[in-house]
Structure 1
Amino acid sequence: MSIQFPNVMADVLATRRHLHQFPEIGLSEFKTSDYIAERLQSLGYDVTRGLAGTGVVATLRNGKSLRSVGIRADFDALPILEETGLDYASKVPGVMHACGHDGHTAMLLGAAQILAERRNFDGTIHLIFQPAEENFGGARIMIEDGLFDRFPCDAVFGLHNDPDIAFGHIAVREGPIMAAVDECKITVNGRGGHGAEPQATADPIVCGASIIMALQTIVSRNIHPLDPTVITVGGFHAGAASNVIPERAEMVLSIRSFDAAVRDQLEQRIRAVAEGQAASYGMGVTIDYQRGYNATINHKTETDFVRDLAKSFAGAEKVFDLPRPMMGSEDFGYMLAERPGSYFFLGTKRTENDPPLHHPRYDFNDDVLPIGTTFWVELAERYLRSA
């Protein structure tokens, strides 16, 4: 790590802890957006606001090259009641930065300051501060609002902290790195009645249980064993009394995959299995199937660039290729579908007992702030290296 800016790093730490205290849910990050925009304007960036409502794009130009690079940080929080007990814990009841987006934003703001001071590049840098990564697809909305039409990027890069990866280590992967995710709600429409007379009813609980068991065969018997897929039944709700057979039962599923054809096959089979099982019990189902985020698929050239840079930055012993993609999902995949780029992970692990992401006791590891900040600086400067 060749770039050292201790004065900037103090600001980065203060920024991270300020953002942590005032988290905002996706598409409602008005104060966070104001804070980001004001900081960037004070650094001399051309700042554009309003993409996806609260999104911010900051542009810095230097030299004569027409090359451009985009770097993205997300800044929304989660509807979780914080239990860290920290001095800088969330001041917003029921909302917290439980995924480290406060750290992502602080690092990119720190990099923005260093890049503006050094101006050691030839071309254009677009810093993309994205709202609503959690569930709302802020990346897709920014693109629909003209992100890459208004701010052309030859390549775009993003990172995520990972408390399961050793501190300071950088994990890359060419091709699929995070899964597509869809959601499905299946309602079994039965005929309720007295628990003492099941023969006079159409029991949606028994039917629903049969559907749940049959769904487990889709991955093992319909999908190729080398195509990673997951079907999770995350909820099953029916009835409330021991002596009443209810009218209906509901289940909710998440479905994860990487290949577009497999994704289509999963939907087709889930519908067929649910409808077929219900018909065998003399019942029907209502299926609400919602497509979610696409898979995040890294481009080879840009991933090679990140890997090589990371080795020179952190040392080859701290850089590795993930042996398999992660089954979590991330809307940066929408950006990678529009522009070449790469998404990677920065390890923040403290101990084996670190709370995971999305946990009420999770807190971003501030010791990694200098690493992420200076890595973004080196990435931008290396990509737009002066002749």
Structure 2
Amino acid sequence: MSDLDNEELIKIRRDLHQIPELALHEVQTHDYLLSLMKLWSTDWLEIKSVPSVPTAILVRLQGTDPHKTIGYRTDIDALPVTEQTGLAFSSTIPGQMHACGHDIHMTVALGILQHFAEHQPKDNLIFFFQPAEEAEYGGYRVYEAGAFTGKWRPDEFFAIHDNPSLPAGQIATRLGTLFAGTTEIHLTFTGESGHAAYPQRAKDALVAAAAFVMQVQTIVSRNVDPIRGGVVTIGSFHAGQVMNVIAGEAKLEGTIRAFLQSDILMMQQRVREIADGVAQTYGVKADLNLIQGGYMPVENAIEQTTDLIEFMTADPTIDFAESEPAMTGEDFGFLTQKFPGTMVWLGVNDPEHSLHSDHLNPEERAIKPGVEAWIKFLEHRMQ
């Protein structure tokens, strides 16, 4: 058995692209991945399931002369997006699409895994096929389930995320924080509805919610160091049903994003304070739920990231570039809080479409260079 060639990798990617599944429901994806892994079974390959997160798969390859255990993570879930690419291998599941490129991520991981199933590594390797990255923080769930203990505990972790604005096959990363941490905002203001002609007899939840939206815009501008930056966005606002009835309820949803966990915690507190203050001012009740889950900042570790940058920069066959940080959220950030490691961008050259676009169409010629670069680097880490 030789390494997967370009055509084989593309077939795998297209198979996966047709069966996108949402967080914690990746049943077909799980079964497809497992079927390939069983084809590549060797004496040094072991597969582990996680009963509390049944779509998760861990694969361990025993090293020939292990001094450490290296982890590699890929996410496997999709988004609730109706695909509009028109591709012959478009999603077969209505309203669901690999609009963030996790089909690319999985294919790269499988290419690396198949190589080390054929060529036994020197150090131990653990591949983590993680459900629920887009929602429900699957990395946190699997960690809390105790999956990374004993011989399954990696000493370091690596991962990729595709980037449509970079050339196909280019790898890019940076020292320090690569992606922001995020927190979901779920807020309901409850007042008393009433006739528009008699506002004194009602408690207007819509006006309170509008005041909240305006006030949270000062959190970043007046509380976060401008050199670091942050974001508070309210993306959903629903209140009222009839033009002449004062709304008794208003529901808002949004997100907090920052590069430092300390800033995220401060911003969470300011959101709480503003919600409480608005509720008191307008005589309504505020029911606020802030959810961070596993979406911590992705903090690239100094030792692993320096080594990766130096190695890939020195290899003329690898297209490498240093990148700027992004406000993108990624629950690999939780794992970087528990294990030193690095996440990198993999360019897929679709600059007209952003991640999560219903027209996202990554260039498949990015897959093979991604696989080859990672095989080289992981073998380098084992020296």
Q: Scaled by the length of structure 2, what TM-score is found?
A: 0.92
SS at match of 2:329: coil
TM-fit CA distance, 1:270:
1.3
Partner of 1:272: 273
Deviation string for 1:181-216 (max 9, x for gaps)?
112222222222111222332222222212211111
Return closer, same or farther for 1:129/1:283 CA change in 2, 3 Å cut-off: closer
Report the residue type matching 1:98 in the other structure: A
Task: Check whether the contact 1:107–1:369 (CA below 8 A) recurs between aligned residues.
Answer: yes
Deviation string for 1:143-178 (max 9, x for gaps)?
122232141222110011100223332221222111
Partner of 1:193: 194
Task: Check whether the contact 2:57–2:130 (CA below 8 A) recurs between aligned residues.
Answer: yes
What RMSD in Å do the two structures reach over aligned CA positions?
1.9
Structure-1 separation of matches of 2:358 and 2:38: 34
Partner of 2:144: 144
Deviation string for 1:273-330 (max 9, x for gaps)?
22223322333322222223111111001101221222234568x433223x211111
Partner of 1:304: 306
Return closer, same or farther for 1:84/1:200 CA change in 2, 3 Å cut-off: same
Partner of 1:345: 345
Structure-2 separation of matches of 1:30 and 1:205: 41
Structure-1 separation of matches of 2:299 and 2:286: 35
Partner of 2:122: 122
Report the residue type matching 1:356 in the other structure: S
Structure-2 separation of matches of 1:206 and 1:255: 22
Task: Check whether the contact 2:239–2:251 (CA below 8 A) recurs between aligned residues.
Answer: yes
Partner of 1:330: 330
Return closer, same or farther for 1:85/1:285 CA change in 2, 3 Å cut-off: same
Report the residue type matching 2:253 in the other structure: V
Deviation string for 1:234-267 (max 9, x for gaps)?
1111112111112122222211123233222212
1:12 maps onto 2:9 in alignment: yes
Task: Check whether the contact 1:191–1:201 (CA below 8 A) recurs between aligned residues.
Answer: yes
Partner of 1:238: 239
TM-fit CA distance, 1:336:
1.4
Partner of 1:382: 380
Matches within 5 A, 1:163-178: 163-178=164-179
Structure-1 separation of matches of 2:29 and 2:21: 7
Task: Check whether the contact 1:187–1:251 (CA below 8 A) recurs between aligned residues.
Answer: yes
SS at match of 1:286: strand
TM-fit CA distance, 1:6:
7.8
SS at match of 1:79: coil
Task: Check whether the contact 2:26–2:55 (CA below 8 A) recurs between aligned residues.
Answer: yes
Structure-2 separation of matches of 1:112 and 1:315: 21
SS at match of 2:158: strand
Deviation string for 1:106-148 (max 9, x for gaps)?
11112222223334x4221212211111111111122122232
Task: Check whether the contact 1:79–1:95 (CA below 8 A) recurs between aligned residues.
Answer: yes
Task: Check whether the contact 2:230–2:258 (CA below 8 A) recurs between aligned residues.
Answer: yes
SS at match of 1:328: strand
Report the residue type matching 1:371 in the other structure: P
Partner of 2:29: 32
Structure-2 separation of matches of 1:67 and 1:276: 52
Structure 1, unaligned runs of 5 or more: none
Return closer, same or farther for 1:21/1:306 CA change in 2, 3 Å cut-off: same
Task: Check whether the contact 2:186–2:252 (CA below 8 A) recurs between aligned residues.
Answer: yes
Identity of aligned residues (%): 32
SS at match of 2:236: strand
TM-fit CA distance, 1:89:
0.7
Return closer, same or farther for 1:33/1:6 CA change in 2, 3 Å cut-off: closer
Report the residue type matching 1:308 in the other structure: E
Structure-2 separation of matches of 1:105 and 1:242: 49
Aligned residues: 376
Partner of 1:252: 253
Report the residue type matching 1:271 in the other structure: R
Structure-2 separation of matches of 1:141 and 1:315: 38
**Higher mean C-alpha displacement, 29-38 vs 327-336:** 29-38
Task: Check whether the contact 2:206–2:250 (CA below 8 A) recurs between aligned residues.
Answer: yes
SS at match of 1:125: strand
Task: Check whether the contact 1:68–1:384 (CA below 8 A) recurs between aligned residues.
Answer: no
Task: Check whether the contact 1:108–1:373 (CA below 8 A) recurs between aligned residues.
Answer: yes
Task: Check whether the contact 2:3–2:114 (CA below 8 A) recurs between aligned residues.
Answer: no
TM-fit CA distance, 1:63:
2.0
Structure 2, unaligned runs of 5 or more: none
Partner of 2:134: 134
Task: Check whether the contact 1:58–1:126 (CA below 8 A) recurs between aligned residues.
Answer: yes
Task: Check whether the contact 1:108–1:376 (CA below 8 A) recurs between aligned residues.
Answer: no
Return closer, same or farther for 1:239/1:297 CA change in 2, 3 Å cut-off: same
